[in-house]
Amino acid sequence: MENLDMELGLTHGARGPSVKKLQDYLSQYGYLKKETEPSSLEVFGAEDFPATEVIKAEGEFDEITAEALRRFQAFNHLSETGMLDESTIAQIRQPRCGCPDLAEFATSGRKWATNNLKYAFQNFTSDLSSREIILAIEQAFALWAAETPLNFRRVSMSSSPEIIIRFVTGDHGDGSPFDGPGGVLAHAFFPPTPPNPPAPIQGDTHFDDAETWTVMVPPPGGTFDLVTVAAHEFGHALGLGHSSVTDSLMAPFYGGPHRFLHSDDINGIRSLYDGYQLAHAMWVHGTDIKVEIENNVESLQRYGFFTRIVGKPNTTNWYHFAIPTSVIVDSNRLAVGRAMLRFNTGGSQAVVRDVHIYDGSTRIAAHQSVNLSGNQPFAKFGVPHKPDVVWGIGISIGVRTGTGTPAQRRIDFISAGVDFLP
Ligand code: ZN
Ligand code: ZN
């Protein structure tokens, strides 16, 4: 993390190195511009927000600096004091994405002209095995694939990928150096504005390899969840800016694992890419469920359309749905869009931890540690590359049962379904 030690209480009229640090921070995230350097929005391939003003005097807390600070405070739901108070300093020290903040940016129409996107790894981090990294990246892309017509296919570096993934440290040649452990975690470059062809760096996604990356939930102290940070960065690579909605994936600050899209993220990505065309959808009732480990079930009861299962305390189990699959319709082989589940648990003592999607014996998507509980009327699980279906789709659901009363340990499986694409 860059040295973010700033004096508490800095306000209009103050001068000195601490003011300059604040101005550097505000200009790094697009609230201010420096006369001598390209703005941070230009670095990431976007236009400046019209209201962004140029710093008149570096190291002087003038009205322009105060106004920029108020905009930072407003974006982060802090009181708009225009001074460096305690909550503002605390916010500034939080780990975050290196891209600039700009809510209005989401509507600027930067997007890919194709729905078939390719990505490649230039290198991996040594924090994780290459298999763990690939699965984490697939899971991150799957979040966006579930809500858009986009599909994401891993290719080699020589196959002209739109999105190149790198793990790098410090200055890595793109005008936005990383800052060591903490602080900035990653950044990504926005796509072109059609019909402009993409420039080489557009869509590229860089992770600060000075961080310790993990795929474990909860992450061990001092580590960051690669699935969450990658999913956030891919939002930028697809054309989304930062959101000031605190619980959204596209909020700029990292707040721990967030392996799902918020309705704000879904509205954002749908404003750029239309929904996908459905050829077919198939659903089954919850009464169809198959139990993997009968021994870990305390009780199982089928009602009209759902199955209520109470797991034994401190166990895990897998439950399976086979979805009837019209592999070929009107001489066309269908592709798999996404899987969907309706379920309801007694609370946090019965948690859907993992959801895997199979075509025959091939696992085509793995959503790990999604940790969903309570009422889930329409949970969606994307398939990153949306492959043609070959054998028939199965959904496997890993459930963790904790302690508590049977009512707290129950899960009601209501329905399971799959969307198929032409
Ligand atoms: Zn970001
Ligand atoms: Zn970079």
DSSP strands (E only) in 99-140? 116-121
CA of 22 to the centre of ligand 2 (A): 22
User: What spacing in Å lies between the alpha carbon of 165 and ligand 2's midpoint?
Assistant: 10
Superfamily classification of domain 280-421? Galactose-binding domain-like (2.60.120.260)
Residues of the chain with CATH 2.60.120.260: 280-421
Which residues are placed with Cβ below 5 angstroms of ligand 1, an ion?
A: 97, 99
Ligand nearest to the CA of 189: 2
| Confidence (pTM) | 0.96
Q: What is the pLDDT of residue 5?
A: 81
Tens digit of each residue's pLDDT (9 = 90 or more) over 311-340: 999 999 999 999 999 999 989 999 999 999
The per-residue pLDDT for 2 is 65
CATH 3.40.390.10 positions along the chain are 116-273
pLDDT of 140: 98
Distance, in Å, from the CA atom of 296 to the CA atom of 281, rounded to the nearest integer, reads 32
The closest alpha carbon to 49, from 26, 33, 65, 72, belongs to 33
Whole-number Å distance, alpha carbon 166 to ligand 2 midpoint, is 8
Distance, first Cα to last Cα, the chain: 48
Q: What distance lies between CA 217 and its chain's CA centroid?
A: 15
User: Could you give the residue range(s) of every CATH 1.10.101.10 domain in the chain?
Assistant: 2-93
Distance 240 CA to ligand 1 centre (A): 9
Rg of the chain in Å (alpha carbons): 23
233 catalytic residue (yes or no): yes
pLDDT at 148: 96
Handedness of CA 9, 15, 21, 24 (dihedral sign): positive
Provide the mean pLDDT of the chain.
94
Ligand 1 centroid to Cα of residue 287, in Å, is: 42
Answer CATH for 116-273 from 3.40.50.10090, 3.30.420.40, 3.40.390.10, 3.40.190.10: 3.40.390.10
Q: What pLDDT was estimated at residue 108?
A: 61
Q: Which of 76, 35, 71 is nearest to 51 (CA)?
A: 71
pLDDT band at 1 (very low <50, low <70, confident <90, very high): low
Q: What is the distance, to the nearest Å, from the Cα of residue 100 to the centroid of all Cα atoms in its chain?
A: 17
Catalytic residue from among 37, 233, 294, 298:
233
The answer to whether 100 and 29 are in contact (CB under 8 A) is: yes
Find the 176 Cα to ligand 2 centroid distance in Å.
6
Contact yes or no for 184/97 (Cβ under 8 A): yes
For residue 247, give the 3-state DSSP assignment. coil
- CA dist 121 and 182 (Å) reads 23
Residue 47's pLDDT is 67
* 25 phi/psi in degrees, rounded to 5: -60, -50
Considering every ligand atom shown, identify the ligand nearest to the alpha carbon of residue 96 and give its number: 1
Domain 2-93 fold is Muramoyl-pentapeptide Carboxypeptidase; domain 1 (1.10.101)
Ligand nearest the Cα of residue 205 is 2
Reported as a single tens digit per residue, the pLDDT across 386-408 is 999 999 999 999 999 999 999 99
